[in-house]
Amino acid sequence: GAGVSQSPSNKVTEKGKDVELRCDPISGHTALYWYRQSLGQGLEFLIYFQGNSAPDKSGLPSDRFSAERTGGSVSTLTIQRTQQEDSAVYLCASSSDSASGANVLTFGAGSRLTVL
């Protein structure tokens, strides 16, 4: 598609359940980011994939969070044993970053996660 696609757009789950959030970036974009935004807060960096390089996982808040990017395209963010504080909008973005510099990010519409 023309833009970054995220699914589901809304997810309500019970505390303790696992959830998977999916991101389909713009075709050809080598860089993919996951951010988290809680209500009224800024964007919190979670993880950055750039081409074949090892991902920057430094923003993942705990070992319950993990992400994969298969074939340099689609990415899945997995949250295990969800907690109420995980409730937020999870935003995915992609760009044509290269090793020489960062380029403009295009964001998806986000996945709103509510943990009851």
Partner 1 sequence: RKEVEQDPGPFNVPEGATVAFNCTYSNSASQSFFWYRQDCRKEPKLLMSVYSSGNEDGRFTAQLNRASQYISLLIRDSKLSDSATYLCVVNKGQAGTALIFGKGTTLSVSS
Contact residue for partner 1 among 41, 66, 83, 114 (CB under 8 A):
41
What minimum distance in Å lies between the beta carbon of 18 and partner 1? 25
Contact residue for partner 1 among 108, 111, 113, 115 (CB under 8 A):
108
- 29: tokens are 């974009």
Contact residue for partner 1 among 7, 20, 22, 45 (CB under 8 A):
45
* Closest C-alpha among 37, 110, 25 to residue 75: 25
Contact residue for partner 1 among 13, 22, 56, 73 (CB under 8 A):
56
Rounded distance, CA 85 to CA 73, Å? Answer: 29
Rounded distance, CA 50 to CA 115, Å? Answer: 30
Backbone dihedral angles phi then psi of residue 30, each to the nearest 5 degrees: -85, -20
Residues at the contact surface with partner 1, assessed by CB under 8 A: 33, 35, 41-43, 45, 48, 50, 53, 56, 59, 91, 97-102, 104-105, 107-110
